[in-house]
Amino acid sequence: MSILAVGRSFTSPVASSSRHVLQGVASLHSSSVQRAESMKARAARLTRRGNIERKEERQKAALGNRPHVVLGTRPGDESKWADCTLAKTVLTREAIAGTTSEGIKGDIGEVKVPKFFSYGLDAERAKNSEFFFEHLPSAAVEDTTPDLLQERLVKAGGDVQQLYEWDRNMLQKLQKTELQKATQLARVVDLRNANAKGITVENKRRIIAAFSPSPEEPSSGYPEVQVALLTLKIRSVWEHLIRCKKDLTSRRALRRLVHQRAKMLKYIRSKDRDRYDSILERLALEPGSVEGELVL
């Protein structure tokens, strides 16, 4: 009994101490492995985060330099619009208000003629001015004078002297009346007195004449004319939305117009690449603003 007791008391401390040593080594080995794995995972996580941040920066820079879907120009290059054909063709309210009338002197007197006519009269401005404000009033006086002279001659009983006095007074009165009519007509056809719809009609006429491939036969059926008209309408709606940001109906209409313009340009590109490049330059549109996915 004593020998077995001594044996147990002698061997148990050794076994217990060896177990503690083995457990300590095992714990030390596992912590080092875990520490090494966490550092590796941390390095991978930082690398992945850096890649994501750089990708987001590149995407942000690309979006910042992307052409505006509505205006068609890149940021900082808005002056390109002022140099394009469409901007030089259309008339604005400010440009019209800054014009002055020009005097046309005819047989009956001088009439102040506007620089821009409404209702399509500006297509042949010189010819219209000469006809309406010079020839037409004189012709009206000449056509009216013989009938009145015959009537005056009957009333005067053949008195030539009295007829001459009446003739002179009558002619002056007729000339004054026709001059007033010509002046009133000039005010009616003056584009400065037109409303927004009148200016829009005149701009449409000017766009059709400027963008038709055949100047002798202008038509609104050409794709270039349709794209130019859509661009003008898009810019008008965009200016309205800048003032009225909560107009959801106009915002939906703007999306529809932008996609309609993109489809029309895609059709032109499929037919003739040179016509496509030419119309983009004349409208100050970058290819990136009308190609691919359009997000408004």
Domain-embedded: residue 49: no
Amino acid at 216: E
Predicted confidence (pLDDT) per residue in 226-284, tens digit: 999 999 999 999 999 999 999 999 999 999 999 999 999 999 999 999 999 999 999 99
- Do 137 and 275 lie in one domain? The reply is no
Q: Any idea what the CATH number is for the domain that residue 87 is in?
A: 1.10.287.10
Q: Is the pLDDT of residue 123 over 60?
A: no
Instruction: Residue 290: name the closest of 237, 227, 211, 236 by CA.
Output: 227
Domain's final residue, options 171, 189, 207: 189
Measuring CA to CA, how many Å separate 214 from each of 65, 114, 152, 221, 281?
37, 28, 56, 12, 19
Q: Is the pLDDT of residue 71 over 80?
A: yes
Q: What are phi and psi of 124, to 5 degrees?
A: -130, 75
Which residue range is the domain that position 147 belongs to? 102-189
Predicted confidence (pLDDT) per residue in 188-205, tens digit: 888 888 888 889 988 998
Structure pTM?
0.68
- Do 205 and 170 lie in one domain? The reply is no
Domain-embedded: residue 160: yes
- If one counts every other C-beta atom within 10 angstroms of the C-beta of residue 36, the result is 10
- Do 285 and 201 lie in one domain? The reply is yes
Q: Which two tokens stand for residue 32?
A: 């080092």
Domain-embedded: residue 22: no
Give the per-residue pLDDT at 264. 95
Question: What total number of domains does the chain contain?
Answer: 2
